[in-house]
Amino acid sequence: MVFSSSRLICALSFMVSVAMIPQALAHAHLKQQEPAANAQLASPPQKLTLSFSEGIEPGFSGVSITNEQQQEIKTGAILRDEKDKTLLVVPLEQALKAGTYQVDWHVVSVDGHKTKGSYHFSVK
């Protein structure tokens, strides 16, 4: 079977474009969080740390934490680790009491894609 040069170029172009699709569709996904999802903590955390799969724009991102009564917990300004642009740190301005908490987050990655999600943890 012999390929003409135009068919070979066409086939190579197709393979390169298919290989690039996952990169073009990439979004920032939550990879790790502290406190961890479903964690049961003996003492309350002083901050939340969220690690994403790609760099985050903190000015267009947000994190909220609510208790079991749906009351929002006061947080400080979201900070991005300048050495690791995938890491967001959210200081807690008030100590968490015993109970279950929900963390809701939304981020915009450096390539402009938006993602959101949530998870729970509890304090004993």
Residue 39 in any domain: the answer is: yes
Q: How far apart are CA 21 and CA 30, in angstroms?
A: 21
What is the number of structural domains in the chain?
A: 1
Q: What is the pLDDT of residue 8?
A: 56
Residue 102 in any domain: the answer is: yes
Closest to 52 (Cα-Cα) out of 15, 106, 9 = 106
**36-66 pLDDT tens trace:** 999 999 999 999 999 999 999 999 999 999 9
Residue 43 in any domain: the answer is: yes
Identify the burial level of 2 via C-beta atoms within 10 angstroms of its C-beta, where 0-12 means exposed, 13-18 middle and 19 or more buried: exposed
Residue 11 has pLDDT above 60, yes or no: no
Residue 13 has pLDDT above 80, yes or no: no
Residue 21 in any domain: the answer is: no
Backbone angles phi, psi at 108, to 5 degrees: -120, 125
Q: How far apart are CA 24 and CA 111, in angstroms?
A: 9
**68-105 pLDDT tens trace:** 999 999 999 999 998 999 999 999 999 999 999 999 99
Residue 48 in any domain: the answer is: yes
**Residue 75 domain boundaries:** 26-123
CATH of the domain at 86: 2.60.40.1220
Residue 30 in any domain: the answer is: yes
Residue 16 in any domain: the answer is: no
Q: What is the pLDDT of residue 20?
A: 46
Q: What is the pLDDT of residue 33?
A: 98
